[in-house]
Structure 1
């Protein structure tokens, strides 16, 4: 009596297995189709790389103590340009840092924003160092640069963004922007503020 029962179970299991395989094949085909559609759209549009510049920069309230503790305020004008005529960009998270001799001296953020097609957006970055401890080497180099009348900084931008084409939005991408060397030339001083002359710096962009 046990043998016919096993045959019935086998007969029931076979259609069930075929149904599972059919569902798996359909799902796989849909995934491939969606992926190919996205790839075709992306290749057709051929998005251009985003462009970044630092157009202005200055230092205020500069003070470096004998204990290598730095206090200063920084102003940088960051220009972000989206050259694409069919692609807009959603910036969901943007972190900014200022570096000297590969040491971070200040950090900040830019609020999330949407950049339309063929748009230029300007950001006035007001950052500061409060009792930031520098290494002996960085402190020594900063004193030398300060005495020479110019200081070289770097501005680093890290962003989490998405691209939008029509009603479609891409997955999240990570963007790294490195702006260097940013030469802040120190000239006259008035009430603790160093006035500067500045040359625009084009940034390296990696997505």
Structure 2
């Protein structure tokens, strides 16, 4: 076989490989375009969360700067989409005070599916035993004591997936922030909340994905 024949054979093989690569690339682009088109048509809306109520069993600050709390919250999630389902994967819930976490993360759910327009309600306990708080929060706590109110934030974080027909998306991070006002008893008694006080809130939460 001549060198010229070998050169032609190699050139033909390269052309075939290029065509296969081009065909694969076009196929991938078409699939991505279809997914994008379906996504734009369906226009997925973020799930809606509402903090319905908060029951405080313990919320005590002890010297020097330790906070012990035991709180039960009722939180509702709603899927507002008409054609898109939502898979929640391992959601955790905890509470913060002025951006400092004051309770341990509690598992809200391991996995759950929320169909179109569905609503789910959970009532987990969140707690922290002698959690050290930053010294600069002492001044803030003094202000809250004088006003007899404290603002905490109940936060949910985890992952979700969108479901359209049989297609399921990859994971997306979800962060939910629910503000909650808690009222103190007698300000002269210090930073304490009487056990078992239930606060009806129906407070909408902000959701970031």
Q: TM-score range by the shorter chain?
A: 0.7 to 0.9
Q: What is the RMSD of the two structures over their aligned residues, measured on CA atoms?
A: 2.3
TM-score normalised by length of structure 2: 0.87
Aligned residues: 202
Rate the CA distance shift 1:123–1:146 in 2: closer, same or farther, 3 A: farther
Distance 1:93 1:78, change over 3 A: same
Do the aligned residues in 2 keep the contact of 1:187 with 1:194 (CA within 8 Å)? no
Counterpart for residue 93 of structure 1: 90
Query: Once the 2 structures are TM-superposed, how far is the Cα of residue 37 of structure 1 from its aligned partner?
Result: 1.1
Kept in 2: contact 1:61–1:72 (CA 8 A): yes
Q: Which residue of 1 aligns with 2:174?
A: 175
Unaligned runs of 5+ residues in structure 1 are: none
Question: Are 2:76 and 2:120, in contact at CA under 8 Å, matched by a contact in 1?
Answer: yes
Compared CA separation, residues 54 and 142, structure 1 to 2 (3 A)? same
Shift of 1:135: 0.7
Structure number with higher strand proportion:
1
Pair 97,197 (structure 1): closer, same or farther in 2 beyond 3 Å: closer
| 2:48 counterpart (47, 51, 57) | 51
Deviation track 1:111-161 (CA, whole Å, cap 9, x = no partner) reads 211111101111112110112100112244235424643221012222211
Task: Give the equivalent residue in structure 1 for 2:207.
Answer: 205
TM-score for the superposition, normalised by structure 1: 0.88
Quote the Cα distance in structure 2 between the aligned partners of 1:68 and 1:45.
50
1:30 correspondence with 2:27: yes
How far 1:178 moved relative to its partner? Answer: 1.5
Q: Which runs of 5+ in 2 are unaligned?
A: 187-192
Match of 2:125 in 1: 126
Q: How does 1:29-178 map to 2 (within 5 A)?
A: 29-106=26-103, 107-111=105-109, 112-146=111-145, 148-178=147-177
Q: Which moved more, 1:89-98 or 1:99-108?
A: 89-98
Q: What is the aligned partner in structure 2 of residue 193 from structure 1?
A: 195
Distance 1:57 1:140 in 2: 25
Q: 1:18 aligns with which of 15, 27, 34?
A: 15
Asked if the contact 2:185/2:194 (under 8 Å) is kept, the reply is no
